[in-house]
Structure 1
Amino acid sequence: MKTLELFKVLEQNEDKSLLFEYAPNLLVGANYHITEVKHTKIDSVDCGSNKDSWNETIIQLWESPNELGKTEYMSVYKALAILNKVGEMKPYDFDAEVKFEYSNATFHKTQLFINDFEIQGSNIIFKLAVEKTDCKAKETCGVTSKEPVLLDDEPCCSPDGNCC
C-alpha cells in the first residue's frame, strides 16, 4: 500500500479504533505507540548488476511495558494527528510504499507490509505480512521460479532430502 492510500483509508475511518494484525490472528497490543516514522530512500544494486531506487515510509509500532493490560486501542483520529505532525516536519513521499516496523517478546523485529485491511464494527484492522526475499534478476542469473517439491515419503533433512 502506498502512503497516500494509507492516509485516505485512515481519513475515511477517523471514528474507528486502529488495530494491527502482525501475524494471522495475532494483534499488536492495545498498549502500542507510534514511536517513529522513517522516510527512507533505498538505493540498490541486485545480483544481476541492475540499479534500482525507491522510497519507503516506515512507521514503527512499540508496545509500552507501562501500559500492559490496556484494552482501548489508539483511535485513527489520534494516529492521523501524529502522522500529520510528522508530515509537517518532514514531508511524505505519498508514492512511497508504507511498512510497519514491529516486534514483541515472541516476534522478531521486522518490517511488515500492509496485505489488506478490514472494518470490524468500530475497528479498522490492518493485516500486516512479512515480505519474502526474492531474486530480482532471475533471468540474468538463470534462476527458475519453480519451488522445490518435497515428497511426503522423503524426510526433509535426509541426505537424499530436497530442502536442506
Structure 2
Amino acid sequence: MKTQEFLGLLETHPTKSVLFEYAKGKTVAPNYHITEVKNIIVDSVDCGAGTDFWRETVVQLWESPKEKNRTEYMNAQKALDIFKRVNGMKRMQPDAEIRFEYSNPNFHTAQLFVDDVTVNGEHLLVRLAVEKTDCKAKISVKANTGEEACCSPESACC
C-alpha cells in the first residue's frame, strides 16, 4: 500500500479506531504510539549485479509500558494529525510503500507491509504481514532468458 492510500483511509474514516493486526488474531495493544516515521531510500545492488531504487515510509509502532491499562485505540484523526506534523517537518513521499515496524516480548522486531484493510463498526483494522526474502536475481534471470536460475555460487545469480 502506498503512503497516500493509507493517509486517504485515515481521512475517509477519521472517527474510527485504528487497529493493527501483526499476526493472525493478534493486534497491537491499545497503548500503542506512533514513535517514528522514517523516509527510507533504498538504492541497492543484488547478487546478480542488478540495481534497484525505491522509497519506503516506515512507521514505528510502540506499546507504552506506562499505559498498559489503556483500552481505547488511537483514532484515525489523531494518527492523521501525527502524519501531517511529520510531513510539515520532513516531506513524506506519497508514492512510497508504507510499512510498519513493530515488536513486543512475544514477536520479533519486523517491518510489516499492509496486507489488507477492513472497515467495520467503529474500527479500521489494518492487517499487516511479513514479506519473505527472495533472490531478485533469479527473477531477472528468468525474465531475461526464460530459464530458471539455479542460484548456485557459479551462476550469475546468488
TM-score (normalizing by structure 2): 0.88
Which letter does structure 2 place at the counterpart of 1:128? Answer: L
* Equivalent residue runs for 1:26-65 within 5 Å: 26-65=26-65
Does 2:130 correspond to 1:123? no
Q: Give the CA deviation at 1:65.
A: 0.2
CA RMSD of aligned residues (A): 1.2
* Equivalent residue runs for 1:1-164 within 5 Å: 1-138=1-138, 140=141, 142-143=149-150
Q: Give the CA deviation at 1:119.
A: 1.1
Q: Secondary structure at the match of 2:93?
A: coil
Q: After TM superposition, where is structure 1 displaced by more than 6 Å over at least 4 residues in a row?
A: none
Unaligned runs of 5+ in 1: 145-164
Identity of aligned residues (%): 53
TM-score (normalizing by structure 1): 0.85
Unaligned runs of 5+ in 2: 142-147, 152-158
Q: Secondary structure at the match of 1:131?
A: coil
Q: Give the CA deviation at 1:135.
A: 0.8
Larger proportion of helix: 2
Which letter does structure 2 place at the counterpart of 1:67? Answer: E
CA gap 1:120/1:143 in 2 versus in 1, 3 angstroms:
farther
C-alpha distance in structure 2 between counterparts of 1:61 and 1:143, whole Å: 39
Q: What CA deviation, in whole Å up to 9, does each residue of 1:40-80 have, x standing for no partner?
A: 00011011100101000000000000000211000101000
How many residues of Structure 1 are paired with residues of Structure 2 in the alignment? 144
**Which structure has the larger Rg?**
1
Q: Give the CA deviation at 1:137.
A: 1.1
C-alpha distance in structure 1 between counterparts of 2:149 and 2:124, whole Å: 43
